[in-house]
Amino acid sequence: MSRGKPRIPPGAPGHPRTGSDAPRGRAKRSEAPRGERRPREEPSPDSPRAPLRRAPLRRAPARIARARLVYEDDDLIAYDKPAGLPVISADGSRSRSLLDIATEEVKRRNPKGRAAVVHRIDKDTSGIVVFATSARVKKELMGAWDELVSERRYVALVEGSMGGKSGGCDSWLKESKTGQVFRAGIGERGAKRAVTRWRLLEEGAGLSLLELFLETGRKHQIRVQLADLGHPVVGDPRYGGGRASGVEGSGGDSPRDDLGRLCLHAVSIELSLPGRGKKLRIESPAPPEFASALKGSAFNAPRGGASASRSAARSDARPRPAAPRGKKPSSRP
């Protein structure tokens, strides 16, 4: 019986994986004995260093004041919405909306209930928003909204002097594919008529405080029409009102920061429901910083301070006990 080749232990001379006969490839990383850390290799002073990778800085989101419950009964619930909070979240967005807040409040008294949207205001506009508390009430309101709503009143801080005590805007508005609204020709395809009446409340520091009444409810109606008049809403760069200039004592051409928000507020809404026999009026006073800006005192205040302090009720927690059904809760914090 013949013997085979003698077995050569790994690492010994003549082993097929030793020396130049070893297969080429990535060298195995040396390992430190168990229980000990492998010493860190310090780069040579002459070797180039790889650039440090820093995590991108994330800007903190702007603080949004809390929504304030101002009215509720068996058919309706209304909030004083802060600027920056959307009435409905955009498609695909998981951000919290006023509809979410209203629905949570409705569910506290009716686990199967849900708030229903009957009208909207812009995300950056503050003020009164009303929701129906049932599909029946929503159908009644949406079926005859223009007849049931007798007043929609706003207050806006705009650039420049109006040159009069009152006036009106009657134009046709059209929305582009990007969501921008612009003035169109009378009767132009896709355009809708928009009518707004305004009254001057006060002027000062190159600004005007206006009270506005909507006769129609088109998207961005007030913002577009005031911009067309040459008096854009302060804090509305989308329609030409990013800054207010012409400040008294500044030489007339020095720009001034706005209040850190769109200066438009839905002050009140007056409506009626079939069978009630009387009109319901829900109000929210205009932010005090609007009037302060006419004296030039609001523009140096910390942003968000005055607006954020207006609404005291938590939007993510149960507000103070509500008044009896059909009564407006106290407006105190």
User: If DSSP codes are grouped into helix, strand and coil, which group holds residue 117?
Assistant: strand
pLDDT at 300 over 90: no
On the 0-12 / 13-18 / 19+ scale of CB atoms within 10 A, 303 is: middle
pLDDT at 213 over 60: yes
Evaluate whether 57 touches 47 at the Cβ level (below 8 Å). no
Rounded CA separation 203/56 (Å): 45
pLDDT at 95 over 70: yes
User: Cα 321 to chain center, whole Å?
Assistant: 27
Q: Count CB atoms within 10 A of the CB of residue 138.
A: 18
Rounded CA separation 275/115 (Å): 21
User: Cα 77 to chain center, whole Å?
Assistant: 21
The predicted pLDDT at position 157 comes to: 96
- The DSSP line for 45-93 is TTSPPPPPP-PPP-PPPPP-PPPEEEEE-SSEEEEEEPTT--SSPPTT-
Locate the domains of the chain by residue range.
68-308
pTM: 0.68
Tens-digit pLDDT profile for residues 19-69: 555 555 555 555 555 655 555 555 555 555 555 454 444 444 456 779 999
The predicted pLDDT at position 48 comes to: 55
Count CA atoms closer than 13 A to 230's CA, side-chain side.
4
Tens-digit pLDDT profile for residues 142-171: 888 888 999 999 999 999 999 999 999 999
Domain 68-308, CATH homologous superfamily name and number:
Pseudouridine synthase (3.30.2350.10)
Pick the closest to residue 260 from 131, 126, 162 (CA basis).
Answer: 126
Q: The tokens of 94 are what?
A: 């998981």
Evaluate whether 129 touches 81 at the Cβ level (below 8 Å). yes
Cα 330 to Cα 281, 283, 321, distances in angstroms? 15, 12, 10
Dihedral angle, C-alpha 310, 314, 316, 322, nearest 10 °: -120
Cα 302 to Cα 257, 289, 291, 305, 306, distances in angstroms? 11, 11, 16, 6, 8
Evaluate whether 153 touches 182 at the Cβ level (below 8 Å). no
Position of tokens 């790889």?
Answer: 50
Q: The tokens of 49 are what?
A: 């260093």
**What value does the mean pLDDT take over residues 4-17?**
66
- The DSSP line for 199-224 is EEEEEETTEEEEEEEESS--TTHHHH
pLDDT at 228 over 80: yes
The yes-or-no answer on residue 236 being catalytic is no
Evaluate whether 87 touches 332 at the Cβ level (below 8 Å). no
Evaluate whether 171 touches 225 at the Cβ level (below 8 Å). yes
Q: Pick the catalytic residue from 80, 122, 124, 236.
A: 122
Count CA atoms closer than 13 A to 181's CA, side-chain side.
20
User: If DSSP codes are grouped into helix, strand and coil, which group holds residue 194?
Assistant: strand
Tens-digit pLDDT profile for residues 190-210: 999 999 999 999 999 999 999
